[in-house]
Amino acid sequence: MKKIPALIGTASLALLLSACSGDDDNKSASGSIDDGERSNEYGSIDHGVKEEDGEIGFSLDGGSVEEAENVPEEEKTAILKTFNQYIDTLNAGQVDEYLTTLSTENYDLDEERAAAEEMLASGELTRTPEDLTIVKYTEEEAQLFSTMKTAMKVKETGQEDARQGRQVTVLTKQDGDWKVKAVHYIGDQE
């Protein structure tokens, strides 16, 4: 029975981060949602976001989180709207709506649909973000920090598993709209 929480946690984390397996150079490497993940002993996952400086705006392993100062109010509103839609639609099991929040330049939407539908067929996902902070901003890309509680409930048994961690969601402008480009997540140690 101890394997079920681990499987649930792995499944929810995989779905939460699944779209990050695609990248600009190789959108369909081998089809696994886990392709390209690098992890360390703390459970962090870096999904290979290719940025000019090669890094996200800050470290996920602690330290202070400071809001970017140069974010125009209308852009902040649009970024938060996209992020909330990204969270809310998957929580509600609205796969088509969830897919509209993802960058088609960075995600294989067919893979994302399959992963989301498979996960939602057997479980109920609830992601609860807090402490939303835009930590890096340019006119074409934004990085949104949040603390994230991810809970998964197995429909068949009612068994639940929850994880807490920190996440940076990278959003990009695509055809004038903000879309989720990648996710960096590190789970808190139990």
pLDDT tens for the chain, 190 residues long, are 444 444 444 444 444 444 443 444 433 333 333 333 333 333 333 333 334 444 555 455 556 789 999 999 999 999 999 999 999 999 999 999 999 999 999 999 999 999 999 999 999 999 999 999 999 999 999 999 999 999 999 999 999 999 999 999 999 999 999 999 999 999 887 6
Residues 182/153, Cβ–Cβ less than 8 Å = no
Q: Where are the domains of the chain?
A: 3-187
pLDDT value at residue 12: 44
pLDDT value at residue 131: 95
pLDDT value at residue 62: 59
Residues 13/163, Cβ–Cβ less than 8 Å = yes
**Structure tokens, 171:** 């959003």
| H or E stretch covering 101 | none
Reduced to 3 states, what is the DSSP secondary structure of residue 3?
A: helix
CA-to-CA dists, residue 105 to 41, 65, 101, 108, angstroms: 31, 28, 12, 8
Q: Domain 3-187: which CATH class?
A: alpha beta
**Structure tokens, 97:** 């709506």
Full-model pTM: 0.73
Neighbours of 141 (CB within 10 A): 17
pLDDT value at residue 4: 43
Q: Nearest 5°: CA angle at 73, between 70 and 78?
A: 110
